[in-house]
Amino acid sequence: MPKNRLTILIIDHHPEDQEMYQHLLKQDKEHKYQILEADSGNEGLDILWTTSVDCILLTTKLPDMTGVDVLKAITENIELEQVPVIFLSRQGDEMLAVEAMKSGATDYLIKNSLTWELLVRAILYSLKKNEAEKVLKDNYSFLSTFLNTIPNPIFYKDIHGKYIDCNASFESFMGISKNELIGKSVHDIMPEQVAEEYYQIDCQLIKTPGVVTIETELMNKAGVTYDIILNQATYTDMKGEVKGFLGSITDITERKTMENKLKKTAQALDKNVKVLKKANLQIIEQQIAVIEEERLKVLLQMAGATAHEINQPLSVLLWHTELMVMHKDNPEKIMRHVERVESAGQRIAEIVKKIQTIRHYEVKPYPGNSKIINIDQSLSILCVEENDDDFARIHETFLSIGAIHPLRAKNPDDAFHILEDADMDVILLDLFDKPEIGFDFLDAIARMGIETPIVVVTNQKDEMIASQIIQKGAYDYLPKAQLNKQSLFRVISNTMEKYRLKKEIRQTTEKLSEMSTRDELTGLYNRRYLMEVLERKTASAERYNKKLALCLMDIESLEVVNETYGLRAGDKVLMEVAKILQRISRKCDIPCRLGGKIFAIVIADTSIRNARNVCDRFRKKIEKHVISYKDNEIRIRLSIGLASYSLTSDSSWKDLIQKAEHSLHSGKTEARTNLRVV
């Protein structure tokens, strides 16, 4: 919120205008102002170098430079760029005002129609807008830092396929700096054949937004070629329109090299087996010829012995070759079979790390200085207006502004019917000379979950009531006596900008909160959230004498799954366990993943006996469940430790965790019972 005492710098060489600003600000009874004055641009800049101000009122023309030149000098200075600047022009100088908004001005006002309410509201709006933008920039800075700590290369492209940003890992991987990358396309940084493949991915995502995952090759600036897994997805703005692409790269060159080596080894063994098969057939044919010359019984015995001696090593080779084909997705088993026919081998390691967008978040990079609303954009505005003449004035004004489509509702009930079927960008609400209508309308909008911003249209005498309605949730108010093109344009522009900032702040905050409490792989709550919950639950259990239990679960066979089928199979096991845990948990239970192969569930308001039944039911469900991975069926075992909270003087949530861990480890060592209770 703005401070009660505000320092305002007025840069204007007209004494009568300076006196007008001071006179208008004195009429504001809620805030105190310290006024600083400058007659020229250079004098104003000198004051800014030495004095901290809250807001700047800047005119269009000065003796030594233009107001736009002063504005550029302010925005180019890092220490001053956060100070809001309100541009003041006379009637007819709107083009200068638009140029000022593009150069970084927060707002602009027309001197000819200036009132103290407009001036004060513009100052307070500018201060609130700067605070909101600072929050967004801080959150964006955090997300940028977070992305730069991720080891996988990550990049962003706009809808035209031009790179707009990347993390440090991408710069290192590609051997190209961010400054060299931004503004370039894949055709600028990659060979034509490879670039065309990546371009087709962009085209596919534009037609069908979503996620694309492929295995392909990538050549960096130094000419080094890598085998990679490319994950690329579209990200959208608040209206759901695709604005560009977010991608991540996983280097699988080492894995591919080992797979190719094993493939060549298998091919060589297969060739040897074919040679041995041919040799065996020749031996058999020779034995048949001998049988025809010698006595039948003796020669048959000899042929049988010889065939047995040859077939024994041949069978071993054939058997292990077939096993290699069966286990082609399991590097370790392939190496075991290779070791039976070779003296040495290498073990293949498969490292695949999974990245979840900013959903993003669907994080759209914040552009910095906000832009003035485009008067040519299509807007839908609902006017809740009873008076025909007043609506005709508003409608005529809208037609002179741009592509705005006003709908009319004569009363709040009609407005609600329209809102059920149509999405509105702004609602203009007339108070109908009855303040309670505005309060009831806002309450009903809140109950219905409608977020459309509301601007109150008042008579001159109703401004105190309008102020109360704004405190209750309206975005702004507009006196009917001051209704004209400039004031209506300004209030709609400011309202939509304020709505956008509020929505982005909420979305960013929700995203940061989810990132801090959710496990990325399984979607369950993480260890941090579990600690917070246990601290609250144990305090509640002690205060209200409630029952509380903590169950820890260890997937005993996960290491075997990883070693046998690879880490991707292990990830699938973890996700399947998480799904089952969520499915069987009650609404009041809290399932979590502590990390690695350990899961937990907080069981509240249940006896230890019932908690044990819950755990045992979950264990049986898991051990009966068959997890399919490629052509394999995987079964797993669990060890479970269960502990209940006891109301002793030295008991705490940390003690409860220690008891559950002790119970879990005891369950692993005592006769494989798989479930222990403390």
- Among 168-177, 251-260, 337-346, 480-489, whose mean pLDDT is lowest? 337-346
Q: How confident is the model at residue 92 (pLDDT cuts 50, 70, 90)?
A: low
* SS3 sequence of 221-256: CCCCEEEEEEEEEEEECCCCCEEEEEEEEEECHHHH
- Give me the pLDDT at residue 340, please: 52
Residue with structure tokens 């066979």?
A: 557
Question: Which CA distances in Å does 593 have to 143, 528, 554, 671?
Answer: 24, 10, 10, 26
Domain 5-145, CATH: 3.40.50.2300
Nearest CA to 83 out of 116, 40, 46, 51 is that of 51
Confidence band of 514 (pLDDT split at 50, 70, 90): low
The residue whose two tokens read 């956060």 is: 82
Question: For residue 460, what pLDDT is reported?
Answer: 57
CATH architecture of the domain with residue range 379-483 = 3-Layer(aba) Sandwich (3.40)
Q: Token pair 């069966």 is at which residue?
A: 326
The least confident of 287-296, 448-457, 579-588 is 287-296
Q: Do residues 361 and 243 touch, judged by C-beta distance below 8 A?
A: no
Give the pLDDT band of residue 513 (cuts 50, 70, 90). Answer: low
Min mean pLDDT across 128-142, 198-212, 264-278, 320-334 is at 320-334
- CATH 3.30.450.20: does it fit domain 151-252? yes
Q: Say whether 340 sits in a helix, a strand or coil.
A: coil
Bin 432: left if φ > 0, else alpha if -120 < ψ < 50, else beta: left
Asked if the model's pLDDT at residue 363 lies above 50, the reply is no
């929050």: which residue's tokens?
135
Question: Taking residues 299-307, what's their average pLDDT?
Answer: 42
- Residue 512, class by beta-carbon neighbours within 10 Å (0-12 exposed, 13-18 middle, 19+ buried)? middle
- Please check the confidence at residue 358 and state whether its pLDDT lies above 60: no
Cβ(601)–Cβ(622) below 8 Å = no
Mean pLDDT of the chain: 78
pLDDT of 463 = 61
CATH number of 527-677: 3.30.70.270
pLDDT at site 354: 34
pLDDT of 641:
92
Q: Which residue has the higher pLDDT, 187 or 514?
A: 187
Radius of gyration of the chain (CA): 36
Do the Cβ atoms of 552 and 641 come closer than 8 Å? yes
Model confidence at 443, pLDDT cuts 50, 70, 90, reads confident
10-36 pLDDT, tens per residue? 999 888 988 898 888 889 888 889 999
Helix (H, G, I), strand (E, B) or coil at 607: coil
Does the structure show a pLDDT above 90 at 601? yes
Examine the pLDDT at 437 and tell me if it is beyond 70. yes
More confident: 355 or 512: 512
Q: Would the pTM count as exceeding 0.75?
A: no
